[in-house]
Structure formats: C-alpha cells, structure tokens
Structure 1
Amino acid sequence: MKKPISVMAGMLFCSFMSFSQVEDMTPSEIRYRDSITKLNQSNAAIAASQEAYNKGIELFNQKKYKEAITSFNKSIASDPNFTAAYYNKGVAENEAEMYQDAVNTFTILIGKQKGYSKAYFQRGRGYQGLLDYLKAEKDYEESIKLDANNPKAYYNYGTLKFLQQDYNAAIKYFTKSIELDPSSPMAYNDRGSCYRMQENYPKAIEDYEAALRKNPNLAFVLNNVGTTKKKMKDYAGALIAFNRAISVDVNFFLAYNNRGVTLLEKGSLDDAIKDFEKALQINPQYAPAASNLSGIYFKRKDFKKAEDLATKAITIDPNYASAYVNRGMAREMLRKMEEACSDWKKASDLGSAEGKVCHSGNCSN
C-alpha cells in the first residue's frame, strides 16, 4: 500500500539558486571605466573647491578674514593644487595679523609656483609683521626683481625702511611707488613723513598737500600737516589743519591731543584741557593725553592732580617715559624726592633725555 503524499498548502520549494551574470571586460575597458570614475571624482572635488573658494572671497570682501581663511582651507583640502586659494588664504592671514601663518602659506605657494612675484611680496608683508626685517627685505627685493612695475612692492619696502629710520632709502622707494602709481595718496603721505623726520618741513608739507589733492578727506594726513606746521611754529596753520581733521573724523583722538598740545604752547590752557579730556574720552587707553593733562595741572600748581594723572598714564602704558618725567616733577613739588628720583631714573632708562637731566641734577645716584 502506497503512503499518502502530504502537501503543505501555500508553500513552494525551489531547488535552484539565482546568480547575476557579470560580463567579462577587456583591460582597456577596465582602464576606461576607472578613468571615468576618477574624472568624476576629480570634477566633484574641483567643484567643491571652487564653491569654498568663492565663499572665501565673499567673506574676505566683508573683512571677515578668519571665516575666509576657514573657507580657503576647505578649498585647498578639496584641491591641494589650487594656487589661488593658497594666495588668498595668505592675504587673509596677513589682514588678520596672523603673520606666521601667512609666511607658512606663502612658502608653500612659492614651492608650488616658482617666480610668483606677488607671493614674495605678501610673504614679505608677513615677515614685516613679525618684525623680521631682514627676511622681509629679501622678499621685497625678490618681488621687485620678478616684477619691477608693482608699486605696492616699492611702497612696502619704503615703509620697512621708514621703520628702520633709514629715511633716505624710504624716500627712494616711496618716490618709485609714486612714479608707478601717481594716484595713490599713501606714498605721498609717507614720503612727507620721511621729510618731517629729517626736519625738512617745507618738503613734508608739499607731499602732504599732494596726498590731500588725491583725497581731501584723509584725517591722518591733515593731522600730519598740523603736527608739521606746529613744528614750524605756524600755530594758526596747525590749528586749521587739526580742525579740518576733526571735521572729517569727529572721533580722531590723535587730532584732539595734538590740537591740545598746540593750544598749550599758545598758552590756551582751558581749551587744551578740553582737547586732552576729549581724546581720553574717545580712547581711555591713550596715555599721552593723560600725561599731557598732568603737565597742565603741574603748570597750574595742582601737584597732587598732576601726580594722579601721570600715574594714570603710567598705568595705561608702563613704558611711557614722559609720564615718569611728569610724575617725578609733581612728586618733587610734593616733597617726595626719593619717589621723584625713582621716576626720573625710570624715564632715563626708557631713553628720555629730560629724565636723565632731572635725575643727574637732583638725585645722588
């Protein structure tokens, strides 16, 4: 007798497995496939790099330098050979005063792109910011050798020479910058300051006025005119220049301070006090204004207030020699000779000729 066959309803048993078939590819077809894949990946990386780069430029133009640097880093990460991203990253680092980072970035860029004059120029800016003047000079010289028609390279070289008090060399480079770009007021202004430091006041005024013809609304140039005319004892002309500077920029504390000094020399003590107080109101960390107020109250024989104001200036700037001279004079009148001598000694150590005279004439050691 046959056994009955048991069937489970709804169940289907399959006795085979399914495999997908891959057709064989020739070596050339494989290479083509791989090259297309790499090309697509490269195009995607380049697109991402360009997008980050464009964002960096937008942020840079908004003066958001640190955010721009972040975007340029993203651009470089996607495309390590994108030299424009390195360049603009380095410029942003200079603008953000991240000078060592800028030097590092431009060193990489110079390694990737030989003979890039602007990279040497910008690296020179970085070295200048680090006060490494020798390396800055070498980079400016290399930049000029590669591109003798870049006025900015000559201008920056001039500022470097000015900082080193080599005024003749600075004048030479500022003059070359002016020849290449007569429209820029900055080289005129800075060459004028070289002449002022050499006490060639007429030439200084000539250059400052040339700068103002390029742009009449530069408060710092008007301030320079004022300080130069004060040195020429042209107090009326100095006051006109300071007044113009303040009308251009009502918060320009340097002009208030310098106008105060001019008024002080004219004997207008009340007006001078107002200007020094205004300078301090605008910038509470401006030590010269506090020291100048000390000098006025000394003249008025309010020696305690003179001492307090000089102390305030020293608190703001512990290396401000004139404040030690003024406090020493106030303390002498307050019969605090030991403290006065200590102040004059400190002023002398900081390079003050007045401090040296006061100390040697009044103190035993």
Structure 2
Amino acid sequence: MGSKVQQGIDAMRRGEMDLAFRLFNEAIEENPQDPLAYINLGNLLMSSNDMEKAIVFFERAIELDDSAGAAFYSAGTAFYKLDKYEEASTLFKGAIDRKLDDGDSHFMLGMCLYQLGKLGYALVHLQRAVELNEKDLDARFQYGLCLAQVHQIDEAMKQFQKVLEQAPEHTDALFNLGVAYSVKEENELALAAFSRAVEIQPDHLLAGYGKKNMMERLQK
C-alpha cells in the first residue's frame, strides 16, 4: 500500500480529491514532522484554488525542512497565482538555491521578474529555462517576448520562429512575429504572419488589427 502520503498522491492522480485530502491529513496527524505531507496537502489545496490556505501548509513544510526545494517552489507558485510577484520571486530563488535548479524554477522566477518590470534579470532566467528544456514552448515564447521588450528584435524573432517550428498554429507567436516584422518595416512578411494568425484564430483581435493596419500601409 505504501505510506499514506503516497496513497494520497495516488488518489490525487485518480482524481479522488476527498480521499487524498483525508489521507494527507491522517499522515500529518500520524507524523506531524513530515514535510512531505504538508507539501502534498498544500498542492491539493492549490489545485482547488485555495491559495491562502495552501501557503500555510507550504510554510509549515519549510519550517520543518529548510532544504525542501519543492516546498519553496510550490509556495512560490501559490504567491504567483495571487499576483504577489515579489514574494514569489524570493521563493523561486530559494527553490533554485536548494538544488531545484530546473527549467520550471527558472521559468517561474523569470516570469516573476518580468511582471515586476525587471526585464534584464527576467531575460537571464527565461534564457536558462529554455536552455534546460528546449521543448518548453511557454518558456521559449516568453523568452521571445522579453527579448522584444528589451528591443532585441532579431533575437526575439528567432525564438518566435522556433516556437512555430514546434507548434505551427501558435497564433500568439505568429502575431508577435508579425509585430517584429512590422518594426523592421518588412511589411509583406508582417502581413503574412498576421493573416496566418487570423486564419487559424479568426477572433484574434490583435492579429486582426495588425492585418488591417498592414494592408492599409501596403496600399499607400
């Protein structure tokens, strides 16, 4: 059967959330010094969108084991979902410092820093996220957006193009590629990118506006 924590994790995977909740609570009652039970109960609460209560359990896990990178990462995620980016960034840094030095941690830290307007620092971590997991389209796309924000247009375009190599119908990558072409005054390529985005997603308002604007520019 395994431990009650493992049984709870298995129940979560099966979608049996009430059973998982009971098992994690029993695990805490039986061994209140086990940080894993608190982390998993916090993750369950977070999956139910109860961020404030989840944070209480993550913080308790950190009190019990300051080396628990997973607790720092999960707490950071909860704070991020509450739009508390400063607190979240500190926790993601803590996760990385505690050997959770993976693509997800760098991506989330990069996103916090991006939201805080610290674009240079965000760029470092988003680039690292892509290096650690080249197949992570979200990380690559956000890295491209950040590059565009700091006016590294050619580098941003490379990232959007790589996203499209993996996901040809990624309309936001097409739209942003169109914007980049527009900035470079490569109007026909911009129109093609906007048009393709609208073809895939007719209600993509920004791409629709970009297409209209490019058509008007080319007619002048």
TM-score when normalising by structure 2: 0.78
What secondary structure is seen at the aligned counterpart in 2 of 1:165? coil
Residue number in structure 1 paired with 2:143: 259
Residue number in structure 2 paired with 1:296: 176
Residue number in structure 1 paired with 2:160: 276
Q: Deviations over 1:63-107 (max 9, x none)?
A: xxxxxxxxxxxxxxxxxxxxxxx54xxxxxxxxxxxxxxxxxxxx
Q: How does 1:211-226 map to 2 (within 5 A)?
A: 211-215=95-99, 217-226=101-110
* Counterpart Cα distance in 1 of 2:29 and 2:164: 46
Residue number in structure 2 paired with 1:207: 91
What secondary structure is seen at the aligned counterpart in 2 of 1:233? coil
CA contact (8 A) 1:310 1:327 kept: no
In structure 1, the gaps of 5 or more residues are 1-85, 88-117, 315-322, 335-365
Change (3 A) 1:256 1:328: closer
Does 1:167 pair with 2:51?
yes
Change (3 A) 1:197 1:150: same
What secondary structure is seen at the aligned counterpart in 1 of 2:204? helix
1:124 Cα deviation after fit: 2.1
Does 1:228 pair with 2:112?
yes
Change (3 A) 1:331 1:205: closer
* Counterpart Cα distance in 1 of 2:20 and 2:52: 18
1:202 Cα deviation after fit: 1.8
Does 1:178 pair with 2:62?
yes
Change (3 A) 1:184 1:280: farther
Change (3 A) 1:138 1:280: farther
Relative contact order (alpha carbons < 8 A, sep ≥ 6): 1 or 2 greater? 2
| Aligned AA (2:176) | I
2:194 maps to which of 306, 309, 323: 306
Q: How does 1:319-334 map to 2 (within 5 A)?
A: 324-326=203-205, 329=208, 333=212
1:254 Cα deviation after fit: 3.2
Q: Deviations over 1:165-211 (max 9, x none)?
A: 21111111111222222222111011112122222222111111111
* Counterpart Cα distance in 2 of 1:332 and 1:277: 19
| Aligned AA (1:291) | T
Q: How does 1:39-54 map to 2 (within 5 A)?
A: none
Does 1:147 pair with 2:31?
yes
Residue number in structure 1 paired with 2:216: none
CA contact (8 A) 1:269 1:296 kept: no
CA contact (8 A) 1:186 1:211 kept: yes
TM-score when normalising by structure 1: 0.50
1:230 Cα deviation after fit: 0.6
What secondary structure is seen at the aligned counterpart in 2 of 1:183? coil
* Counterpart Cα distance in 2 of 1:159 and 1:310: 38
* Counterpart Cα distance in 2 of 1:255 and 1:182: 28
Root mean square deviation of aligned Cα = 2.9
* Counterpart Cα distance in 2 of 1:310 and 1:268: 26
Residue number in structure 1 paired with 2:40: 156
CA contact (8 A) 2:130 2:139 kept: yes
Q: Deviations over 1:212-258 (max 9, x none)?
A: 11116322111111111110111111111122333444444432211
* Counterpart Cα distance in 1 of 2:198 and 2:12: 33
Corresponding residue pairs, total: 205
1:152 Cα deviation after fit: 1.4
